[in-house]
Amino acid sequence: MRNTRSVGTVETRYLDLPAPLPLDSGRELRGVRVAYETYGTLAPARDNVILVCHALSGDAHAAGIAATAPAESTRDGFAAAGSPKGIGWWDGMIGPGKAFDTDRFFVVSTNLLGGCRGTTGPSSADPATGRPYGKDFPVLTVADMVRCERAFLDVLGIERLAAVAGGSLGGMQALQWAVDYPDQVNTIVVIASTHGLQPQGVAWNAIAREAIMRDPDWQGGDYYGTGRSPDAGMGVARMIGHVTYLSAPALAGKFGRRLQSGGDIRYTLSEPEFEVESYLQHQAGSFVRRFDANTYLHLSRALTYFDLSREHGSLQAAAEQIRARTLLIAFSSDWLYPPAASEEIEEALRKAGKPVEYHLIEAPYGHDCFLLEEARQTPIVREFLNGSRA
């Protein structure tokens, strides 16, 4: 049975970093603002903090019901079914008695650097000009995002983390935390993620970015205030992403080859004929309304760059840096972030003598399992987090 206890109504808050943020590229960002939410209560010893990191299309609103519900939910696609309006993207995992148990932990969720939902990103005003960064926004890495999260937690007075957790790009951030701040992270929870995206994933991301950048309304990235934005290209990018997040059997099970008309084909190029075509159009339309194209480009680029082997010479060398206990969860049908990568991380950690636990969950939905298979992740995560306090 689904645990229906909720953290209740939440409001996203904002915090301005006191100092410029240095970036891997050699540039720095001034006046960085971070959007965040917290759930649960910070222990007096400040030793019960879990940082939750979102994936490409998420935001700070991970749990509960948004006080001001946006028109388009981050909980879309297959995950939208039966979800109340304004619900957080990982509400099934965060709350009283849930995987990330707010009766015990103080869960912090931020919108990541480069985002478009409150944290400084390409659509934010550049303090140097007062105008949106647009094409001048610096190219980011996952390490930059983590550095921003570190600086943000400094302001909150939180030094150590009981856990860093996330799926997909969120899992990359958790790994980066463990490598970059080994003394400040007790455990990491890395779900449906990888130490370096496989070349096919690099290709999908490149194609999605091409779809956006080839849209003339992208205007080289400086589309803010022009009355035009690359919605057409963004829609294509989202459709590509959506299909890669799901498995072929999941699409077959949900839509089959059913026609929109119910009856026969209508001999049309421009109208959706199949239900699956109509579904993708709908997903693209709602995503375009809630997400900024330049943010998509930057996050997509950062997640393809992420590569612990390149950064440290080898995956083994990266694993040697880690001191956190590691939980890895992968899903059998996830062909975008296949289980093999989690198994490679597990092996490197074991070889380095580090504590690691790996679970392969047999589930049919593909990469989106990390958002959908909450019931099956819950006992694994709860058990693992026992004893994770500093």
Residue 92 or 338: the one with the smaller Cβ distance to its own copies is 338
CA distance 50 to 385: 10
Residue 101 or 334: the one with the smaller Cβ distance to its own copies is 334
State the alpha helices, DSSP H only, in 220-373. 231-245, 248-255, 275-290, 293-305, 308-312, 315-321, 339-351, 369-372
Neighbour order of strands in the sheet with 325-331: 13-16, 33-39, 106-110, 49-53, 163-167, 187-191, 325-331, 356-361
Residue 40 or 138: the one with the smaller Cβ distance to its own copies is 138
User: CB of residue 214 vs its own copies: minimum separation in angstroms?
Assistant: 4
Residue 2 or 257: the one with the smaller Cβ distance to its own copies is 257
Given the residues 54, 242, 298, 367, the one annotated as active site: 367
376 carries a ligand binding annotation: no
The answer to whether the beta carbons of residues 170 and 54 sit under 8 Å apart is: yes
The answer to whether the beta carbons of residues 147 and 21 sit under 8 Å apart is: yes
Question: Which residue from 356, 307, 55, 96 is spatially nearest to 194, judged by alpha carbons?
Answer: 307
Question: Which residue from 59, 95, 63, 93 is spatially nearest to 74, judged by alpha carbons?
Answer: 59
Residue 66 or 341: the one with the smaller Cβ distance to its own copies is 341
Given the residues 123, 168, 193, 333, the one annotated as active site: 168
Question: Which residue from 323, 297, 308, 185 is spatially nearest to 241, judged by alpha carbons?
Answer: 297
Taking only Cα atoms into account, the Rg of the chain, rounded to an integer number of angstroms, comes to: 20
Binding site for its own copies (CB under 8 A): 24-25, 138-139, 196-200, 202-204, 206-207, 209-211, 213-216, 221, 232-233, 235-236, 239-240, 243, 248, 251-252, 255-257, 264-265, 267-270, 272-274, 276-277, 280-281, 297-298, 301, 304-305, 307, 310, 335, 338
Residue 155 or 206: the one with the smaller Cβ distance to its own copies is 206
Question: Which residue from 63, 85, 65, 58 is spatially nearest to 296, judged by alpha carbons?
Answer: 58
- Written as one letter, the residue type at 180 is D
CA 76 to each of CA 70, 177, 290: distance values in angstroms, whole numbers, following the listed order: 12, 28, 11
The answer to whether the beta carbons of residues 10 and 37 sit under 8 Å apart is: yes
In the annotation, is 59 catalytic?
no
Question: Which residue from 200, 192, 15, 17 is spatially nearest to 93, judged by alpha carbons?
Answer: 192
117 carries a ligand binding annotation: no
In the annotation, is 76 catalytic?
no
| Cα dihedral sign, 280-283-288-292 | negative
Given the residues 59, 144, 231, 334, the one annotated as active site: 334
Q: Which residue has the tokens 């103080």?
A: 106
User: CB of residue 96 vs its own copies: minimum separation in angstroms?
Assistant: 38
In the annotation, is 168 catalytic?
yes
User: CB of residue 372 vs its own copies: minimum separation in angstroms?
Assistant: 17
Residue 89 or 137: the one with the smaller Cβ distance to its own copies is 137
User: CB of residue 118 vs its own copies: minimum separation in angstroms?
Assistant: 22
Residue set of the binding site for substrate: 238, 368
Annotated binding site: 238, 368
Catalytic residue positions? 168, 334, 367
